[in-house]
Structure 1
Amino acid sequence: MTDSPPDPFAPSALGPVRLRNRIIKAATSEGRSPHGLVTDDLIAFHRRFAEGGVGMTTVAYCCVSPQGASAPGQIVMNDQALPGLRKLTDAVHDAGAAISAQLGHAGVVAPKKLTGVTAVAPSRFVNPTSFAYCREIRRDEIAAVIDQFGRAAQTAMDAGFDAVELHFGHLYLPSSFLSPLINRRRDQYGGDIDNRSRLVREIAQRVRDVVDDRVAVIAKVDMDDGLPGSIWIDEALRTAQLLDADGTLDALELTQGSSVYRPMYLFRGDVPVREFAAVMPPMLRPGVRLMGKAAMGSYPYEDLYMLPAARQFVPVMQNTKLILLGGITNRGHVETGMREGFEFVAMGRALLREPDLVNTMVADPAARSRCTHNNKCMVTVFGRTHCVLDPEQRYGAVVSNSVATSAQT
């Protein structure tokens, strides 16, 4: 605990970027780029958070390659996407906020029906949720993935993004290298945690070499992933320590859970089994209703639920700022994060419910979030991600995908 915590609502530096406050809109799937290109709907989505007072908003899951996609409609960071991305960053800047691009490669959760190729993993692996086979990635392909992250960072910089967030969590490809359960390699990328951390370090170094000090570089890293025998906090601390010593990152955002097993370990709270069953093919619905809660996991929601694990990282960091995530819904939570030694906080569901929550917290320090943690927003990722309790979002009063015009023109 620090005796003189920073004011979370005062301007602050994140690497080379100056944010108007220390509140970041966390990356949450958007579903507003049905053809993999920026739409007016996506621009309106992020502009609402900017107008609502966040210091920076994060564009979720921009693929470093088509083979790294985890769901339909995700933006691939290439020249085709560049004009629309520039319109998006201009709109957010015009509303007074900074903007970050989350860069990722899905690895074991990249569906073959979408990408057309067998998913890759550090070692041969069968996804326990989809039962899809993942082949072992070759050394030359590892080098190619590192290059892809570098090129994606260049595209983000060309598009006017203020920061890039490297997705090293949730057992996507970089994160899966950190897992002793999935990574059973016998080369320099496998074995002890120092070797298993090699890929994320090399990606971070390549991205830093590309962007230099022109944009901020953030990495999202799992503290533990909820998969027995996989990533746990003891080795995650070592990965964080190695990244910190490299000096390639401006900030580390700490997360939990995976996209492979029991996703509710990340979200906590109500398990929307009935809603998930409703969007599944008819043949699968009875099984989802019967086994969905067991497959997704059930973990009670608590305010600041990631803090007990995240505070272990505070004394480890010497050069890298920390971003606290998980169960942050009001001003008291934000101030607790500052007192605990975190430089920034990231908010997801609470901002999805109230895009103007930051402005509300400034105007009324006692304000409470209207988010009920029913988690029905999770199911909306199959269409347009939105809070089901907000009619304007639910019924597309801002702009709907069916009428949105492409921002590429």
Structure 2
Amino acid sequence: MSQTRDPFKPGRLGPVELPNRIIKAATSEGRSPDGLVTDSLIDFHLDHVRGGVGMTTVAYCCVSKEGASAPGQILMTKRAAPGLAKLTAAVHAESGTVSAQLGHAGPVASKKITGVTAVAPSRMVNPTSLEYCRQITSTEIADVIEHFRDAAALAADCGFDAVELHFGHNYLPSSFLSPLFNRRTDSYGGGIDARSRLVREIAAEVRTAVGDSVAVTAKISMDDGIPGGIDLAESIRTAQLLDADGNIDALELTQGSSVMRQMYLFRGEVPVRDFASVMPQPFKTGVYAFGRKMLGEYPYYDLYMLESARQFVPVMTNTQVILLGGITNFDHMVTGLNEGFDFVALGRALLREPDLVNTIRADRAKDSLCTHCNRCMYTVYGKTHCVLDPDSAYGAPGPAEFLGMPKAARRAARQLPDSARTKHGV
């Protein structure tokens, strides 16, 4: 394209007008310890809205209690509705827009968290947790689709501008797309068209539930980095099928798996020592010994998803495309938009600097302070934050919250520098 596109100009996402084309990607917040919205969670997202993003995304709202992937995630029920409505109202008061990411963990879930055996397309053992996952039944598949529909309707009723359907990272919908995890012989297994059936049915039910009242987006893994798993060619086919159905306004393209080789998504340093420090035995020893092999080691480089993601742009007819991965400055944003993407999404860079977008708007030579050390990953056991800025609003929990945490979470908080622990009474 000969003309440079401006990321700071407004953009339309389905029925929603965003003030610019920069989206805060879903990143685990650790600010809903009882599965309900807190003032801390609201403040977290307000900081990003005030910092300049066009839309902020509330990470991983469970469509059902057995679909949780970690403690303290918001469960999309009427009990959560007042807090969700308070959050969206606060964002709208700042002239921002907000999306709710909806997910079911499937094989990523743990019985220690949900109290029930995790489900997957076919029987398997999660190689990271070493927990058995049973095959989900046809009746339960129908229930999952209904849960996504009901969760989307609740999000719309609570004032969200968009919902993001989590079809990535080998969570339940994504695991159906994987030939490694999906060995079914019914109509949900076989070739990629059949393995795409679940995500298409979820999208159709969600669209029926919300109509044109909110934007509907989906996060989809282009590949999961696991031998025998999701690959680029089949992912493009899934995207074409979703595009032809016309139920999705935009696809956010991602990579990686939450089942194994998790660093394929994040890239950069592998904080094995930090992960081990918050683990009980015998997992602590296992992480020290095998953590790098299980997590994988993948070097960080700018725009690291672009090469794969650009393959989706020419085959999308009805669906907008969102670029994610290694976007840290103005030139990266422009590159993505000039490649034909409609929006760009930032994650870790905003965790380090919530006001990064406004800073770049004022100084287009500005680059993110994020070092891609990935030590933010283990802070999800407390409040997710950048460890290089522990005295910010993203630092340690207060004393009352700290005492109510699981032991692993308290250990994570103790890894903070003394100044942060003293400030927050830990």
Compute the TM-score of the two structures, normalised by the length of structure 1: 0.96
Are the equivalent residues in 1 in contact too, given 2:382–2:396 (CA < 8 A)?
A: no
Would the alpha carbon gap of residues 116 and 163 (structure 1) be closer, same or farther in structure 2, given more than 3 Å must change?
same
Deviations 1:65-102 (A, max 9, x none): 00100000000101000000011111111122100000
Are the equivalent residues in 1 in contact too, given 2:383–2:395 (CA < 8 A)?
A: no
Would the alpha carbon gap of residues 401 and 50 (structure 1) be closer, same or farther in structure 2, given more than 3 Å must change?
farther
Distance 1:313 1:187 in 2: 29
Q: What's the counterpart of residue 62 of structure 1? A: 61
Q: How many residues align?
A: 403
Q: What's the counterpart of residue 225 of structure 2? A: 226
> Post-superposition shift, 1:337?
0.2
Q: What's the counterpart of residue 288 of structure 1? A: 287
Are the equivalent residues in 2 in contact too, given 1:5–1:341 (CA < 8 A)?
A: no
Distance 1:400 1:40 in 2: 15
Distance 2:303 2:360 in 1: 17
Q: What's the counterpart of residue 166 of structure 1? A: 165
Find the residue that maps to 1:38 and give its secondary structure: coil
Q: What's the counterpart of residue 110 of structure 1? A: 109
Q: What's the counterpart of residue 245 of structure 2? A: 246
Find the residue that maps to 1:77 and give its secondary structure: coil
Are the equivalent residues in 1 in contact too, given 2:269–2:299 (CA < 8 A)?
A: yes
Distance 1:269 1:72 in 2: 26
Would the alpha carbon gap of residues 314 and 286 (structure 1) be closer, same or farther in structure 2, given more than 3 Å must change?
same
Deviations 1:301-323 (A, max 9, x none): 00000000000101110110000
Are the equivalent residues in 2 in contact too, given 1:377–1:387 (CA < 8 A)?
A: yes
Q: List runs of 5+ in structure 1 lacking aligned partners.
A: 405-409
Q: What's the counterpart of residue 43 of structure 1? A: 42
> Post-superposition shift, 1:402?
5.3
Distance 2:317 2:86 in 1: 37
Q: What's the counterpart of residue 132 of structure 1? A: 131
Q: What's the counterpart of residue 323 of structure 1? A: 322
Distance 1:49 1:401 in 2: 23
Are the equivalent residues in 2 in contact too, given 1:26–1:57 (CA < 8 A)?
A: yes
Find the residue that maps to 1:34 and give its secondary structure: coil
Structural mapping, 1:14-93, within 5 Å: 14-93=13-92
Q: List runs of 5+ in structure 2 lacking aligned partners.
A: 405-426
Would the alpha carbon gap of residues 158 and 270 (structure 1) be closer, same or farther in structure 2, given more than 3 Å must change?
same
Would the alpha carbon gap of residues 3 and 172 (structure 1) be closer, same or farther in structure 2, given more than 3 Å must change?
same
> Post-superposition shift, 1:277?
0.9
> Post-superposition shift, 1:287?
2.5
Pick 1 or 2: higher relative contact order, CA cutoff 8 A, min separation 6.
1
Q: What's the counterpart of residue 409 of structure 2? A: none
RMSD of the TM alignment (CA)? 1.6
> Post-superposition shift, 1:354?
0.3
Structural mapping, 1:204-353, within 5 Å: 204-353=203-352
Distance 1:192 1:247 in 2: 22
Q: What's the counterpart of residue 194 of structure 2? A: 195
Q: What's the counterpart of residue 407 of structure 1? A: none
Q: What's the counterpart of residue 370 of structure 2? A: 371
> Post-superposition shift, 1:268?
0.2
Runs of 4+ in 1 over 2 A off after TM superposition: 2-6, 282-287, 393-404
Aligned identity (percent) is 67
Distance 1:11 1:94 in 2: 18
Deviates more, 1:247-256 or 1:126-135: 126-135
Would the alpha carbon gap of residues 265 and 138 (structure 1) be closer, same or farther in structure 2, given more than 3 Å must change?
same
Find the residue that maps to 1:140 and give its secondary structure: helix
Compute the TM-score of the two structures, normalised by the length of structure 2: 0.92
**Corresponding letter in the other structure for 2:300:** Y
Distance 2:170 2:397 in 1: 35
Are the equivalent residues in 2 in contact too, given 1:106–1:173 (CA < 8 A)?
A: yes
> Post-superposition shift, 1:48?
0.3
**Corresponding letter in the other structure for 1:81:** A
**Corresponding letter in the other structure for 1:141:** E
**Corresponding letter in the other structure for 1:395:** G
Distance 1:285 1:110 in 2: 20
Structural mapping, 1:141-152, within 5 Å: 141-152=140-151
Distance 2:41 2:353 in 1: 17
Are the equivalent residues in 2 in contact too, given 1:104–1:167 (CA < 8 A)?
A: yes
Deviations 1:82-127 (A, max 9, x none): 0000111111111221000000000001111111111111111111
Are the equivalent residues in 2 in contact too, given 1:392–1:398 (CA < 8 A)?
A: no
**Corresponding letter in the other structure for 1:387:** C
Are the equivalent residues in 2 in contact too, given 1:41–1:399 (CA < 8 A)?
A: no
Deviations 1:164-202 (A, max 9, x none): 000000000000000001111111111110000000000
**Corresponding letter in the other structure for 1:124:** R
